[in-house]
Amino acid sequence: MTTANPLLNPTPLVDYDQVMPEHVLPAIEQVIAEHEAGLQRIIEAQEALPTWDDLVLAVDALDARLQGVFYSIVPLMFRDEAWQTQVHACFGLVDVRFKQKLKNARLHALYRRLADSELGVNLDAHRRSTLAQALEEFRQAGALLDDADQDRLVQLEAQIRELEGLFAANIGRSVEHSAIHLTDGQRLGEVPQRLRDEMAQKAKAASLTGWLIACEEAACKAILEHASDRDLRQQVYKAYHTRGWDAEAGHDNEPVLERLAKARHEKARLLGFANHMELSLRTKSAGSVERVHEFLDDLARRVSPMMQRWQAGLRRTASDMGLTDVQPWDLDYLQAMGRRATQALSVERFREFYPLGRVVEALRDLARQLFGLTLNPYEAVGAWDPSVSTFEVVQDHAVIGYLYLDLVERPGKQSGSVFTSYVWNRRIDAEGIYHGAVAIVFSDTSAGLEGAPPLLDPLALRKLFHEFGHALHHLLVRTSNHVLSDVRRFGTDGVEVSGKLLERWACNAAYLASISSHVENGGVLTEAQVQSVLASQETGVRECAENLSRALFDLDLHQAPDDGRTIHERAEASYAKVSRWPMAGFEKPMHAFDYLISGYDAGYYAYLWSDVRAFDLFSRFEREGLLDAAAGRALQEDFFAHGTARSLAESIETFLGRPVSATSYLRGLGLNDTGGE
């Protein structure tokens, strides 16, 4: 008996009400088999004369279906464990299938022949760019290597995966073993009640009385900012900044990271690149290793004096309090003390003015005013959870795609799930049929207590606007094939620009005041009130310096991993270059730098790079109006619409009417620009 599998029938969206756990794996297995057989058919049929429609668009259709079915399945992992097991089983399978495709020398040869043929050289610019991108992808996957080198590549890739897994596992072990148990509540000082309650809950869950401080960012940050107990701050700081290292248990991420960097280096060399950094930049927007160096060095040169001034100021504040030997575990506390004095409104109170429903309305309104988009609630099919909203996206009376918003934490949804999934890329198939874009925005807004609406604090607002920016970029692309419409192909530095850009609205006091509406009485905040809260959250130059030193370290490690210097020496050099506060003797700052194993290796600079561009793009809206329709349309026409058909730099320059400048970004940090970039 065959029953229709709803995951294989998106018209255009999956009806999740019809999906059962037993549909998941068979759907992926079937679509993988179709992909494999389909490619084989294409290869055989195209052997005589490869053409645009029957090679490129036919492969596009297969890739789109595999991607679409897979990303339709991903949200199901946020149901319960039975679903998670099913979805996790699919991850590896899809990854392997795409890798196999790109290692297929016969398929690569057909793309090559088409590109070099008379037909190929006379294709229009978009199609030539598509072919060039596809060929580059084959090269990076090793399709051009001989059998022995292909085998070595497979070995190296397995080794890299294993080392990445070990690095993550070592961090996980430290986190698990380093929670700090307190029985004296006095020691928590001014830690906000909500966080204290969470700590008490964690203790209870571990059958303890009192409070348990987990070795994770939010809890550690709360202690470092609010606990006047200096010993406790030191204890927490040490636990957090030695993650990935445990002398007793013999876990040490330093040799793991060294081996990982060397394996990546060898892989890059095998593929014909000088180092892993050079390989990584082939799929990014920055252009060249030299360009990234220049960018980081220039920023370091300007940020370093500012950091020195900040350090001197902090030492003065400390000395006024009788503290002469300021240590790294005092910095957050001292900084927070200074801010508390000027804050007009608590973050807890601020949240009451941003109930989720109101904020989603504001996002829809922003999309309408800037881009003429209408987001109509779409209820024809069920989503994977009742809290998810589905919208049909209309522009100029045409449905251009669909958007899901899955924004609230719930049991089963992994904490910290903040990302955007690009389910279907916009494309026009060989029959001329239009396929719209589908995006899913995930965020981790805390659920409201006892049925009350979820409320957003400044960070939750930023996260939501950021992801909404990614979704808008994906929906507003106007290119016609699966490759050019894939904004991920800008690389992490390029794709982040749209997210960082929309974040600017969520950091603008006037805009936030204009969308505030108290959850109970609809009351509003003034711009000054919002400004005081935003200022209290601002990490400014210190965060920039931290990101800079990490980016410099990443660049250094992945450019010259075998020059004999240790991880610690590299870390110290990166700290010195941006005048970061010197490390404590026990500190192991790179042992838990997990961005190096989550796709940001040889690419951590992307955060700063995209921030500089986002601030610059936003400066036009600051000048012309935050809801200015002409500036919005220009952003779509000059930037979003082109997909990857032209370089990010060109699109940004067209929108700005000049090359990118770091001035707006530096001004945002409170720096006076001293020329350059």
User: Of 235 and 283, which CB lies nearer to Zn ion in the complex structure?
Assistant: 283
From 11-19, 276-284, 497-505, 576-584, span contacting Zn ion (CB under 5 A)? 497-505
Distance between CA atoms of residues 209 and 201, nearest Å: 9
From 164-172, 290-298, 321-329, 493-501, span contacting Zn ion (CB under 5 A)? 493-501
| Beta-strand relationship, 398-408 and 437-445 | parallel
Distance between CA atoms of residues 424 and 474, nearest Å: 9
User: Of 65 and 474, which CB lies nearer to Zn ion in the complex structure?
Assistant: 474
Could you tell me the two tokens for 460?
Answer: 């939750």
In the complex, least distance from residue 469 CB atom to Zn ion, rounded to whole angstroms: 8
User: Of 442 and 511, which CB lies nearer to Zn ion in the complex structure?
Assistant: 442
In the complex, least distance from residue 7 CB atom to Zn ion, rounded to whole angstroms: 27
Could you tell me the two tokens for 626?
Answer: 């935050």
The contact mask relative to Zn ion for 629-658 (x = CB under 5 A, - = no) is: ------------------------------
In the complex, least distance from residue 547 CB atom to Zn ion, rounded to whole angstroms: 14
Cα 561 to chain centroid distance, Å, stands at 26
User: Of 70 and 490, which CB lies nearer to Zn ion in the complex structure?
Assistant: 490
Closest CA to 601 of 276, 166, 255: 276
From 371-379, 426-434, 495-503, 514-522, span contacting Zn ion (CB under 5 A)? 495-503
In the complex, least distance from residue 577 CB atom to Zn ion, rounded to whole angstroms: 26
From 14-22, 331-339, 374-382, 492-500, span contacting Zn ion (CB under 5 A)? 492-500
Distance between CA atoms of residues 183 and 502, nearest Å: 44
User: Of 330 and 467, which CB lies nearer to Zn ion in the complex structure?
Assistant: 467
| Phi, psi (rounded to 5 degrees) for 391 | -130, 140
* E strand map for 145-244: 180-182, 211-213
User: Of 273 and 422, which CB lies nearer to Zn ion in the complex structure?
Assistant: 422
Contact 264, 278 (CB under 8 A): no
Residue 469 as a binder of Zn ion (CB under 5 A): the answer is no
Q: Return the residues of window 14-43 that contact Zn ion according to CB under 5 A.
A: none
Contact 573, 328 (CB under 8 A): no
DSSP state of 16: G
- Which of 355, 499, 561, 589 is the binder for Zn ion (CB under 5 A)? 499
306: burial class by Cβ within 10 Å (0-12, 13-18, 19+)? buried
Contact 351, 456 (CB under 8 A): yes
Distance between CA atoms of residues 206 and 196, nearest Å: 15
In the complex, least distance from residue 499 CB atom to Zn ion, rounded to whole angstroms: 4
Residue in the block written with tokens 């095998």? 270
User: Of 111 and 442, which CB lies nearer to Zn ion in the complex structure?
Assistant: 442
User: Of 139 and 488, which CB lies nearer to Zn ion in the complex structure?
Assistant: 488
Residue in the block written with tokens 């920023």? 299
DSSP state of 18: G
User: Of 57 and 487, which CB lies nearer to Zn ion in the complex structure?
Assistant: 487
In the complex, least distance from residue 424 CB atom to Zn ion, rounded to whole angstroms: 19
From 188-196, 301-309, 454-462, 498-506, span contacting Zn ion (CB under 5 A)? 498-506
In the complex, least distance from residue 505 CB atom to Zn ion, rounded to whole angstroms: 15
Nearest residue to Zn ion, by Cβ distance, number only:
499
In the complex, least distance from residue 514 CB atom to Zn ion, rounded to whole angstroms: 25
User: Of 354 and 600, which CB lies nearer to Zn ion in the complex structure?
Assistant: 600
DSSP state of 676: -
In the complex, least distance from residue 240 CB atom to Zn ion, rounded to whole angstroms: 24
Closest CA to 472 of 506, 500, 444, 443: 500
114: burial class by Cβ within 10 Å (0-12, 13-18, 19+)? buried
In the complex, least distance from residue 597 CB atom to Zn ion, rounded to whole angstroms: 18
User: Of 275 and 420, which CB lies nearer to Zn ion in the complex structure?
Assistant: 420
In the complex, least distance from residue 92 CB atom to Zn ion, rounded to whole angstroms: 24
From 6-14, 189-197, 387-395, 490-498, span contacting Zn ion (CB under 5 A)? 490-498
Residue in the block written with tokens 């006047």? 228
User: Of 498 and 574, which CB lies nearer to Zn ion in the complex structure?
Assistant: 498
Element holding 253 (H helix, E strand): helix 253-270
From 353-361, 457-465, 488-496, 617-625, span contacting Zn ion (CB under 5 A)? 488-496
From 156-164, 388-396, 496-504, 624-632, span contacting Zn ion (CB under 5 A)? 496-504
In the complex, least distance from residue 650 CB atom to Zn ion, rounded to whole angstroms: 22
Closest CA to 553 of 602, 598, 607: 602
Distance between CA atoms of residues 605 and 288, nearest Å: 13
Q: Return the residues of window 430-449 that contact Zn ion according to CB under 5 A.
A: none
In the complex, least distance from residue 19 CB atom to Zn ion, rounded to whole angstroms: 28
Say how many C-beta atoms besides its own lie within 10 A of residue 357's C-beta.
Answer: 12
Our separate counts of H helices and E strands in the chain read 26, 11
User: Of 556 and 611, which CB lies nearer to Zn ion in the complex structure?
Assistant: 611
In the complex, least distance from residue 460 CB atom to Zn ion, rounded to whole angstroms: 15
The SS3 of residue 33 is helix
From 132-140, 164-172, 491-499, 569-577, span contacting Zn ion (CB under 5 A)? 491-499
Q: DSSP labels for 319-388?
A: HHTT--S--GGGHHHHHHHHHHTT-SS-HHHHHTT-BHHHHHHHHHHHHHHHH-EEEEE--SS--SSTT-
User: Of 496 and 638, which CB lies nearer to Zn ion in the complex structure?
Assistant: 496
User: Of 378 and 595, which CB lies nearer to Zn ion in the complex structure?
Assistant: 595
In the complex, least distance from residue 467 CB atom to Zn ion, rounded to whole angstroms: 7
Element holding 464 (H helix, E strand): helix 458-476
From 382-390, 479-487, 494-502, 608-616, span contacting Zn ion (CB under 5 A)? 494-502
Count interface residues toward Zn ion (CB under 5 A). 2
Element holding 444 (H helix, E strand): strand 437-445
**Residue ranges binding Zn ion (CB under 5 A):** 496, 499
